[in-house]
Amino acid sequence: MNKFSTLMAGAALTLGLSLGAQAATLKMAYDADPVSLDPHEQLSGGTLQLSHMVFDPLVRWNKELGFDPRLAESWERIDDKTVRFKLRRGVKFHSGNELTAEDVRWTYDRLVTSPDFKGIFAAFEGVKVVDDYTFDLVTKEPYPLVLHSATYIFPMDSKFYTGTDEKGEPKDRLVKHGDSYASSHLSGTGPYVVKSREQGVKVEFERFDGYWDTTSPGNVDEIVLTPIKEAPTRVAALLSGDVDFIAPVPPTDHKRIESSSNVDLVTMPGTRVITFQMNQERRPEFKDVRVRQAIVHAINNEGIVKKIMRGFATPAAQQGPEGYAGYKAELKPRYDLAKAKQLMKEAGYEDGFSITMMAPNNRYVNDDKIAQAAASMLAKINIKVDLKTMPKAQYWPEFDARAADMMMIGWHADTEDSANFSEFLTLCPNAESGAGQYNSGNYCNPKVDELVKAAGSETDPAKRAAMLQEVEQILYDDAAFVPLHWQNLAWAANKKVKVEPILNVMNFPYLGDLVIEE
Amino acid sequence: MIAFVVRRLFQAVIVMFVISLLSFSIQDNLGDPLRELVGQSVSEEERQALRDELGLNDPFLTQYLRFVGNALEGDLGTSYFFKEPALDVILNKLPATLELVFGATLIIILLSVPLGVYSAINPRSWFSKTVMGMSIVGISIPVFLTAIMAIYLFSVELNWLPSYGRGETVPVFGSWETGFLTKDGLLHLLLPCASLASIMLPLFIRLIRSEMMEVLESEYVKYAWAKGLSPLRIWFLHALKNTMLPVITVGGVQIGTMVAYTILTETVFQWPGMGFLFLEAVNRVDTPLIVAYLIVVGAIFVITNTLVDLIYGLVNPTVKLAGKKS
């Protein structure tokens, strides 16, 4: 049987190849390699990029921020709290086991034990298996983001991960630090299998010959992923032809890459917003909405984007980017120095005051330069800024301690949804519920809390979008924080590597579908 | 001799003890390792639970004593990132760094001795002046810049040499994989070694030149000339031998600097050695790895300095080793 299926898969592959282009090898360089082969160990871009190579999600995001069926073939909402999914039939794991609904349940149950991922599934009750190819995702309350969350469910091979390893530890053990079976062995349904891996040096992938998606145009049968930490070296490796595909590409090198005749640069507006928060508990001045408005009006974020980011960012006036439910197109950046001065005068701070500011210097693109620019812009409305920048490793403890009056924070919504920004950045801080965990400004408006909460159980997309847009409007009027910009994304590849179709704003290149032309 | 080595060993243990204490006490200022272990949206409670599990909430002394206890059994802790014993991770990366340092040393020796001697013998020739001029430039350009410029010239523009990594390696013994035995490996070694050598090379050329000029003025050399010995014999046998004494001393001290510069060189060339590993460990707040690295580097310092002292004795038998009964 097994032999037969391999034969069939082989035949299908040959057929695919004869229709498509020749099989090819892709050499690519990211700034880092995956931390672990365990998809539940850490919620990070690197882990998800790997997951899309060796596993498949139930559904995945497409370029239009909609959902494409992957392992789930179809789905329908059967009641307020339940969405029923039909699983694709005949899907094989790398081990040869067949995917069933039981694997989905098993994966879900493991996923919610992960400290990193459990937050995304807080609203869920669990997975209910109906039959081998049907299961229900059940939520505690009516929940609008079932499909959003389903993009995080990459079914694992439950039989493969059951039992104990040679050390006598259970194979499915989830360890954040230290060795585990799952961190170095894997069996998924994805287009690639890991051939060899030397952490920090390279990972070699081979196309899975039993891959279910025979309609995929992808013709890459081997991938060598090398982490190259230094951006200039990464760019040089691409330009010299040592690698075919790199990400990220620093803004300073865009011109050089665009002017090169055999590489392509692909950029997209990203979804990570960069902001400053104004701590109202540390500074009574910040309690005055006029002062906060003055600060927002004094910081020329379009100028920062133009000069410091070299155009490689989208100026922001709200939390969520375009395409998200709560995005309100009317909200525009509001740099106006005269108005800022006027507001300071009205608030009675014409002569200004002194504040402290902190920002990381290796977390976001040009973070320290942005902070320096903001500090000098604030000097123009007589706010003297004592700025301290530091490496991210030292910054986060300071951020947790709310150690400065203004602090920089960037945020990307794991759910690709507007409400997530508010949940972490602008809800009233509440240590018990975890709301506003990153709200170092201590901004608190019950109306915002109420709307975000209501949006959390509103399953009508239009009504929900209206609520979230109202949230953005309130935050804008309240000058709850200083919006700077959304960081753009950039990738560069050799011209024969057709990366554009497989890239998306989530920064999960769908390498299974990558075509390399000869 | 044996007394000397024993005494040095004893010193080494003290040095490493001090290093471990120092690196252990600064680790709280390096940042929060938990931030690198978990995603941004993980709650503070979850992070505290993990901290407890890792024993990071214990008092300093408890943590340190636990570390020393394990260290005495040869366990320097487990790297958070690699999930393997920190010492194993470092020893795995050690060959790459040693080969880099070895290649750079080779370049330095092969170039600095002939160039230094030549410019000492012919101080006024245009070639000597060019060498001296170049060495000023070389000593002033940071290794980071040298490396990037070399990559752009030789990899991107000319396409002669690879831009990053070690290339093809072959196993020699144990886990030691060498790049010296394959063509691809040698090509990959060229740029990183040359960049690393670029900092030390000018220093050694100048040092050898000035020492050599001094020696050439000395009485015994004049006597040798009077005796009618061949110039080659005078320069390379009699004069050079005495020139090398201070060079060896400086060389021993500079090995340490070289190890420090491997951090930069390895980072630029994505060289999978322990210097790059260290920088990454600092970025990730992988404290067990940082502490283990500092101890290993401390050991390398002590060993090389001991070796230098021993070689010193061989080159100049009149030098007394400390600890040797006179």
Q: B269-299, pLDDT tens digit by residue?
A: 988 888 889 988 888 888 888 888 888 888 8
Closest approach of chain B CAs to the CA of A110, in angstroms?
16
A114 touches chain B (CB under 8 A): no
Whether residue B34 has pLDDT greater than 80: no
- Give residue A446's pLDDT band: very low, low, confident or very high (50, 70, 90): very high
The percentage of residues in chain B with a pLDDT greater than 70, rounded to a whole number, is 96
Alpha-helix residue ranges (DSSP H) falling in B27-125: 33-37, 44-54, 60-72, 86-121
Q: Is the pTM of this model over 0.95?
A: no
Of B38, B54, B151, the CB nearest to A116: B38
Whether residue B164 has pLDDT greater than 90: no
| Gap between the Cα atoms of A34 and B212, Å rounded | 54
| Average of per-residue pLDDT values in chain B | 83
| Gap between the Cα atoms of A214 and A209, Å rounded | 10
| Gap between the Cα atoms of A358 and A361, Å rounded | 10
A419-433, A492-506, B227-241: lowest mean pLDDT where?
Answer: B227-241
B198: closest CA among B144, B155, B242, B243? Answer: B144
| Gap between the Cα atoms of A8 and A14, Å rounded | 10
A344 to each of A378, A379, A482, B234, how far by Cα in Å?
Answer: 11, 12, 16, 83
pLDDT, position A5: 46
The residue of A38, A240, A400 whose CB has the most chain B CBs within 10 angstroms, and thus the best one to mutate to test that interface, is A240
Quick: pLDDT tens for A407-426: 999 999 888 899 999 999 99
Q: Quick one: CATH architecture of A45-150?
A: Alpha-Beta Complex (3.90)
- Give residue A93's pLDDT band: very low, low, confident or very high (50, 70, 90): very high
Largest pairwise CA distance in chain A: 83
| Gap between the Cα atoms of A479 and B251, Å rounded | 61
The SS3 assignment for A501 reads: helix
| Gap between the Cα atoms of B85 and A178, Å rounded | 9
| Gap between the Cα atoms of B264 and B147, Å rounded | 9
| Gap between the Cα atoms of A242 and A77, Å rounded | 49
What CATH topology corresponds to A24-35+167-268+489-516? D-Maltodextrin-Binding Protein; domain 2 (3.40.190)
Comparing alpha-carbon positions, the chain B residue that sits nearest to A413 is B41
B202: closest CA among B300, B119, B308? Answer: B119
- Give residue B12's pLDDT band: very low, low, confident or very high (50, 70, 90): confident
Residue whose entry in the numeric block shows the structure tokens 């995917």: A99
Residue A53 backbone dihedrals phi, psi, to 5 degrees: -90, -40
A304: closest CA among A355, A378, A389, A249? Answer: A378
B29 touches chain A (CB under 8 A): yes
Q: Do A200 and B272 touch (CB under 8 A)?
A: yes
Average pLDDT estimate for A376-388: 94
More confident residue, A59 or B53: A59
Q: What is the DSSP letter of A318?
A: S
Tokens found for residue A155 = 């079914």
A284 within 8 A of A291, measured Cβ to Cβ? no
Closest approach of chain A CAs to the CA of B158, in angstroms?
9
The residue of A48, A121, A230 whose CB has the most chain B CBs within 10 angstroms, and thus the best one to mutate to test that interface, is A230
Of A228, A242, A393, the CB nearest to B36: A393
The SS3 assignment for A276 reads: strand
Whether residue A332 has pLDDT greater than 90: yes
| Gap between the Cα atoms of A465 and A325, Å rounded | 5
Comparing alpha-carbon positions, the chain B residue that sits nearest to A238 is B156
CA angle, corner A487, sides to A486 and A489, nearest 5? 130
Average pLDDT estimate for A66-92: 93
A394: closest CA among A365, A369, A361, A372? Answer: A361
Domain ranges in chain A are: 24-35+167-268+489-516, 45-150, 269-488
CA angle, corner A316, sides to A311 and A318, nearest 5? 170
A73 within 8 A of A87, measured Cβ to Cβ? yes
Scored b (16 or more CB within 10 A) or e, B181-212 reads eeeebeebbbbbbbbbbbbbbbbbbbbbbebb
Torsion over CA: A67, A320, A391, A489 (sign)? positive
B105 within 8 A of B248, measured Cβ to Cβ? no
Whether residue A17 has pLDDT greater than 60: no
Q: Which residues of A touch B38 (CB under 8 A)?
A: 42-43, 115-116, 176
A431 touches chain B (CB under 8 A): yes
Closest approach of chain A CAs to the CA of B206, in angstroms?
32
Class of domain A269-488: alpha beta
A430 touches chain B (CB under 8 A): no
Omega before B33 within 30 of 0, i.e. cis: no
- Give residue A49's pLDDT band: very low, low, confident or very high (50, 70, 90): very high
Interface of B with A in 151-180 (CB under 8 A): 151-152, 155-156, 159, 162-165
Whether residue A94 has pLDDT greater than 90: yes
Quick: pLDDT tens for A160-210: 999 988 888 889 888 876 678 998 899 999 999 999 998 888 899 999 999
Interface of A with B in 273-332 (CB under 8 A): none
Quick: pLDDT tens for A267-325: 998 899 999 999 999 999 999 999 999 999 999 999 999 999 988 999 999 999 998 99
B46 touches chain A (CB under 8 A): yes
Q: Do A233 and B163 touch (CB under 8 A)?
A: yes
| Gap between the Cα atoms of B286 and B214, Å rounded | 50
CA angle, corner A44, sides to B167 and A34, nearest 5? 20
β-sheet bridge partners, residue A126: A138
Alpha-helix residue ranges (DSSP H) falling in A401-493: 418-425, 446-455, 461-478
| Gap between the Cα atoms of A305 and B315, Å rounded | 63
Comparing alpha-carbon positions, the chain A residue that sits nearest to B154 is A240
Closest approach of chain A CAs to the CA of B89, in angstroms?
10
Q: Do B283 and A362 touch (CB under 8 A)?
A: yes
